[in-house]
Amino acid sequence: MRYNTYKDHIKITEISDFDLKKTFECGQCFRWNEDESGAYTGIAHGKAAKIWYDGDAICISGDEDDFQSCWREYFDLDRDYAAIRDELAIDSYMRAATDFGAGIRILRQDRWEALCSFIISQCNNIPRIKKIVEALCEEFGDPVEFEGKRYYTFPDSGRISILTPERLAPIRSGFRANYIIAAAKAVESGELDLDALAVGSYENALKALKRLNGVGDKVANCVILFGLNMPNAFPVDVWMKRAISEHYDKSFDPSVFGRYAGIAQQYMFYYARSGLLT
C-alpha cells in the first residue's frame, strides 16, 4: 500500500482487496451510504469522510493526520487480504467464496458502536437496523458538518446510559431498548471494559460480553470480530448455519480455518447472501 497526500484528500495506490461496495455492503457496518457518483460517505470514530474510486486508486477525504490516526487503521489497510484468501481457500467451496468476496476488508469499528449496533441487529433486517442506528445518532449523537450536509456521531455510552426506555422510544428499537441501556450502563460503570477485552483472550471477551442481557453467541462474536478486532471470532447467524450445513458435516469447527476464521466467515456470509444482490 502506498499513498499520496493532496490538499483535501489522500490517494491510496498499490493496494489489493479493497472493493468499496463489498466492504461497505457485506453486512459488517450500517453507517456508510453510496451516493449518485458511487462514492461512499459515512462517519466513524466521530469523524465524517467520503471515499471514492479514482481510476485504480482509492481516495479518501481528509488530511494526512486523519488518515494516519484513523482511516488507515479503520480500513485495515496494512493487512494482506490476498494472502489471507489463499490461506482460507482450503477446499473448492472456500476457493469460490473467497474469489467471489475478494475485495472485502473487515473494518475496525468503534467498540461501543459495534456492541450497540449488533444488539440492535438481532431479529431485524438491514434496512431497519440502519434506520434505528441513524435515529439513535440523530437523537443522541453530536452533529458534524461535512461537505454541506449534517451528519451525526454515534452517541457514546455515557450519553445512552442515563436514558430511560421511554426516552429511547423514538428510535423504535422495540424490545432491544432495555438491552441497549443496560449495555451502556455496564460500559459506563466499568463493569464491561471493552478496551481491556480487546487486548485479552477471545474466550474471556466472549464470556464477558455474554454476561450482558440481550447478548448471546452471535452478537458477541460480531462485537469481537468487528469491534475488538479479533479475526478468529466466528459469528453464526441463520445464513451461516445454512452455508455450513450445505458444505460441511455436523462436526464442523471454525478452527479449521485457523487464525482468520472470522474473515472466512465474512466471505461465506457474503457468498451465501449473494443471491439477494441485485
Partner DNA sequence: AAACAGGCCTAAA
Partner DNA sequence: TTTAGGCCTGTT
Assign 277 to helix, strand or coil.
Answer: coil
Pick the binder of DNA from 150, 172, 242, 259 (CB under 7 A).
Answer: 172
C-beta of 27 vs 155, nearer to DNA: 27
136 touches DNA (CB under 7 A): no
Stretch that binds DNA, among 47-55, 106-114, 127-135, 145-153 (CB under 7 A): 127-135
Binding mask 219-258 for DNA (x = CB under 7 A): xx-x------------x-xxx-------------------
41 touches DNA (CB under 7 A): no
> In angstroms, how far is the first alpha carbon of the chain from the final one?
31
C-beta of 41 vs 121, nearer to DNA: 121
CA 85, CA 270: separation in Å to the nearest integer? 14
Nearest to 139 by CA among 185, 115, 171, 164: 171
Assign 237 to helix, strand or coil.
Answer: coil
Catalytic-role residue among 22, 47, 218, 241: 218
Question: In angstroms, what is the minimal distance from the CB of 27 to DNA?
Answer: 3
Stretch that binds DNA, among 15-23, 41-49, 57-65, 116-124 (CB under 7 A): 116-124
Helical segments of 11-57, H only: 20-25
Pick the binder of DNA from 128, 159, 167, 247 (CB under 7 A).
Answer: 128
Grid cell in block for residue 34: 453510496
CA 229, CA 224: separation in Å to the nearest integer? 6
128-151 CB burial, b ≥16 within 10 A, e <16: ebbbbbbbbbeebbeeeebeeeeb
Helical segments of the chain, H only: 20-25, 64-66, 72-74, 81-88, 92-100, 111-121, 126-140, 157-161, 165-168, 176-189, 194-198, 202-210, 217-222, 238-247, 261-272
Question: In the annotation, is 218 catalytic?
Answer: yes
Stretch that binds DNA, among 154-162, 189-197, 215-223, 250-258 (CB under 7 A): 215-223
103 touches DNA (CB under 7 A): no
C-beta of 135 vs 198, nearer to DNA: 135
Number of residues that bind DNA (CB under 7 A): 33
The binding site for DNA (CB under 7 A) comprises 27-28, 121-129, 169, 172-176, 210, 212-220, 222, 235, 237-239, 269
Give me the active site residues, please.
Answer: 218
